[in-house]
């Protein structure tokens, strides 16, 4: 399994909008090899929140195919369009202080 982590340090004034945006419908759930997406937030700091998005893929090839696809590009356009229809301003990627990390999942420990 292959995991992509998007890490964002987001100002408090736009944090809720970013979290809302990350819960909107997405074309990714129909992508070949997509397993799941998790959104995590840490609100402990006074002036920013840390948002982490973990996207699980069958393998790296599936993730790369999605990332290069027209559907991926269209999914971003769809989200901007939906935010506009909801009367909300688009979120600039510059405001997200985003970094990416990629991992191969080696092991998972579950409760008994």
pLDDT in tens, the chain (112 residues): 999 999 999 999 999 999 988 988 788 999 999 999 999 999 999 999 999 999 999 999 999 999 999 999 888 888 878 878 888 877 777 778 899 999 999 999 999 9
Predicted structure pTM score: 0.88
Q: Is residue 59 part of a domain?
A: yes
Q: Is residue 22 part of a domain?
A: yes
Could you tell me how far CA 71 lies from the centroid of its own chain?
15
State which residues form the domain around 83.
2-104
Looking up residue 38, the CATH number of its domain turns out to be: 3.30.70.100
Q: Is residue 61 part of a domain?
A: yes
Q: Is residue 112 part of a domain?
A: no
Q: How many domains does the chain have?
A: 1
Kindly report the number of other CB atoms within 10 A of residue 65's CB atom: 16
Q: Is residue 111 part of a domain?
A: no
The pLDDT assigned to 75 comes to 86
The pLDDT assigned to 59 comes to 97
Kindly report the number of other CB atoms within 10 A of residue 74's CB atom: 12
What's the sign of the alpha-carbon dihedral 93, 26, 75, 105?
A: positive
Q: Which residues contact 111 (CB under 8 A, 6 or more apart)?
A: none
Q: Is residue 110 part of a domain?
A: no
């Amino acid at each position: 399994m292959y995991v992509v982590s998007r890490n964002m340090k987001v100002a408090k004034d736009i944090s809720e909008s970013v979290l809302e945006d990350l819960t909107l419908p997405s074309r990714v759930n129909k992508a070949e090899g997509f397993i799941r997406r998790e959104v995590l937030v840490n609100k402990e700091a006074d002036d920013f929140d840390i948002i982490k998005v973990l996207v699980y893929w069958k393998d790296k090839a599936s993730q790369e195919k999605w990332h290069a696809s027209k559907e991926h590009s269209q999914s971003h356009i769809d989200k901007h369009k939906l935010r506009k229809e909801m009367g909300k301003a688009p979120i600039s990627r510059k405001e997200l202080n985003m970094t990416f990390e990629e991992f191969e999942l080696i092991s998972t420990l579950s409760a008994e």
